[in-house]
Amino acid sequence: MTRMGWSVLVGIAVIAAGIGLASLRVNPYVYFAGYVILQYVVIATAWNILGGYAGYVNFGTPAFFALGAYAAVFLIRSIKAPLPVLIVAGGLVAALLGLGIGYLTLRLRGTFFSIATLALSVVLQTMIINWEYVGGSRGISVLRPSGPPFGSYVTFLFTVMVALAVVAVLAARFIERSWIGRGLAALRDNEEAAECMGVPTLRLKLFATTVSGFFLGVAGAPFPYYVTFVEPNSAFALDYAVNALAMPMIGGTTSWVGPVVGAVLLGTASQVATVTISSELNLLIVGVVLVAFVVLAPEGLVGLVRRLRGR
Amino acid sequence: MVRAVEAGYGAVRVLHGVSLEVREGETVALLGTNGNGKSTLIKCIMGMVAPAGGEIFLEREGRRVDLTRKSTEEIVSLGIALVPEGRRLFPKLSVEENLLLGAYRAQARAGIARNLAFCFEAFPVLRARRRQLAGSMSGGEQQMLAIARALMSSPQILLVDEPSVGLAPILVSRVIAKIKELKEQYQLTVLMAEQNFNQATKIADRGYIIVHGKIEFEGRDTRELRENELVKKYYLGV
């Protein structure tokens, strides 16, 4: 069997394990917390396709995530669309936004690109606040559909997130090992040199921003059913911007393993902190850990392990 | 073949009607000191700077291909490769990854294994350092890598932009000799922009001297170039 075949098989096994875990019916909080951690696996992986592979740091994660969530809210309100439709639609709308910021890279590089993405979040949030149909600034309640395919609705959403995480990670892994990944690494390292070599830099950047945007939107699409009440402040929370960047940085940005490790570690730590200490402390923990890593292990945990192995 | 090319950046005009021709199998030197438009001309040929006027074309088997309307990617696919000024390596990627990126175009990927073997044969030091990060090598080794990377696309035409920059004299001789050796081995056509007059004329069949964006002198062989005392004195300062 090919390596690709094996990784798909492993992915299926992980999804099966997720379904198994969902049917165990342990303390429901485990699924609540697990959902958030898995959501961060998707977010960190998606962010890393642009930020890690291509080296374009995106501070606008909340914009993409919330766009996925609000696309879902719109479709729930207007046509009561089923969850798979919400996920695909949320992904596609966010992918379109991604394509748009892809064209920004024509003129903006480095810090200037990052600042532009920061503004993106603010602009989009203002628009949502003024759009009454999806709840405006007051927010909107979302009723979960009755009768999930199995278990309770939360365990069902948990399983869905396991599947989404697997798909996102497989996609990232595939990109990383293909010529696309090699081209992205080239433009991260030296964009001008990449152009000299005939690497189609613009097309690669558009690809990265679009795919990254797609999965960020996908992560946001089930969000309305998870929280059942969507309002701009929580959908556009700063947490997403900070975590999306911190998790891959802590795990290591050059491989698909990094964001997964970072998301699981940091996601678990902040869930534990929420229960034991306070929910406000989360971002502080993330910030401190991030600074520590940037100073002590700039290549993340993956880089640290490689270095210790003597490579 | 480049005819009457005009180009510049914004309001600044750098090239004023530059015309030159490189025939198949030749090594042509484009000589001039800094700031005279050598690199701009090379970038025009590679499609990285859009010329404001004139024409740049490739004649092959009686067919004429206009390069001014093509993107860099398409130009690389036509068999033209660039060894850029200042090397422009991927410093945080390994030597091997740098070489593979030289073969990014679909046409070049088929020949990767063969070309990689050729490169390692021509530059044994690169084989020894294949896992090392390109940025951690010495200047001479980096220049060798830049040349090897360009060869990974199996080009017929090699553009070399200032291979001597930032290298010790002994390394310059070595790099120049290597270009000649590779040119003969692969039957390349070479256009080399260089300010090191003596080194460039060692391997060039003929050359042009560019001054302030104009071709001031065309030497039909190296002797003509070398014996042009006026040009040497005033424009090259040797």
* Candidates B88, B102, B149; nearest CB to A192: B88
Scanning the structure block, which residue is given the tokens 């030197």? B29
Residue B18 and residue B7: Cα distance in Å, rounded?
Answer: 9
- The pLDDT-based confidence of A311 (bands split at 50, 70, 90) is low
Give the C-alpha distances (Å, rounded to integers) separating B83 from A210, B47, B96.
Answer: 32, 14, 17
Asked if the Cβ–Cβ distance from A186 to B90 is below 8 Å, we say: yes
Report the b/e string of B72-85 with b at 16+ CB within 10 A: bbbbbbbbbbbbbb
Predicted confidence band of residue A107 (pLDDT cuts 50, 70, 90): confident
Is residue A135 within 8 A of residue A230, CB to CB? The reply is yes
A204 CB within 8 Å of a chain B CB: no
What is the structure's pLDDT at A89?
97
Domain presence at residue A285: no
Which range is most confident: A110-114, A180-184, B14-18?
A: A180-184
The whole-angstrom separation of Cα B196 and Cα B173 is 10
Specify if A216 maps to a domain. Answer: yes
A299–chain B Cβ distance below 8 A for any pair: no
What is the number of CB-based contacts under 8 A between chain A and chain B?
58
Q: Kindly report, residue by residue over A226-277, the tens digit of the pLDDT.
A: 999 999 999 999 889 999 999 999 999 989 999 999 999 999 988 888 888 7
Confidence of residue B230 (pLDDT cuts 50, 70, 90): low
Number of folded domains in chain A?
1
What contacts A151, CB < 8 A, 6 or more positions away? A22, A23, A25, A159
Pick the residue of B104, B112, B152, B161 with the most A CBs within 10 A to test the interface with A by mutation.
Answer: B104
Residue B11 has pLDDT above 70, yes or no: no
Q: What percent of chain B has pLDDT over 90?
A: 31
CA A191 to chain B, closest CA, distance in angstroms equals 9
| Res. A5 pLDDT band, cuts 50 70 90 | confident
In a domain, residue A243? The reply is no
pLDDT for the residue B2: 61
Q: Which residue has the higher pLDDT, B38 or B235?
A: B38
* Cβ atoms of residues B117 and A213 within 8 Å: no
| B219 in reach of chain A (CB within 8 A) | no
For the domain bounded by B24-47+71-236, which CATH number is listed? 3.40.50.300
For chain B, positions 63-102, list CB contacts with chain A under 8 A. Answer: 71-73, 75-77, 82, 84, 88-93, 97, 100-102
| Set of chain B residues whose Cβ sits within 8 Å of the Cβ of A179 | 104, 109
- How many other C-beta atoms are found inside a 10 Å radius of the C-beta of residue A192? 12
Domain residues for A196? 3-237
* A249 lies in some domain: no
Flag whether A233 is in a domain.
yes
* Alpha carbon of B97: minimum distance to chain A alpha carbons (Å): 8
DSSP bridge partners of B193: B30, B161
Instruction: Give A53→chain B minimum CA distance, Å.
Output: 12
Distance from CA of B37 to the nearest CA of A (A): 18
Residue A43 has pLDDT above 60, yes or no: yes
Residue A270 lies in a domain: no
pLDDT digits (tens, 9 = 90+) for A183-235: 999 999 999 999 999 899 999 999 999 999 999 999 999 999 999 999 999 99
DSSP B24-41: TT-EEEEE--TTSSHHHH
Of A179, A193, A200, the CB nearest to B84: A193
Q: Flag whether pLDDT at A150 surpasses 80.
A: no
Check pLDDT > 70 for residue B231: no
**What is the residue-averaged pLDDT of chain B?**
86
Residue B4 neighbours by CB under 8 Å, 6+ apart? B17, B18, B19, B53, B54, B55
pTM of the predicted protein model: 0.89
- Tell me: pLDDT of B238 over 60: no
**Mean pLDDT score of chain A, rounded to an integer?**
90
- Would you call A307 an interface residue with chain B, using a CB distance cutoff of 8 Å? no
Express each pLDDT in A108-119 by its tens digit. 888 899 999 989
Domain-located, residue A284:
no
Q: What is the arithmetic mean of pLDDT over B161-176?
A: 88
pLDDT digits 0-9 by tens, A279-288: 777 778 888 8
* Closest Cβ–Cβ partner in B46, B88, B153 for A193: B88
Whether B46 sits inside 8 A of A192 (CB atoms) is no
A246 part of a folded domain: no
Q: Which two tokens stand for residue A147?
A: 């009768």
Q: What is the pLDDT of residue A230?
A: 94
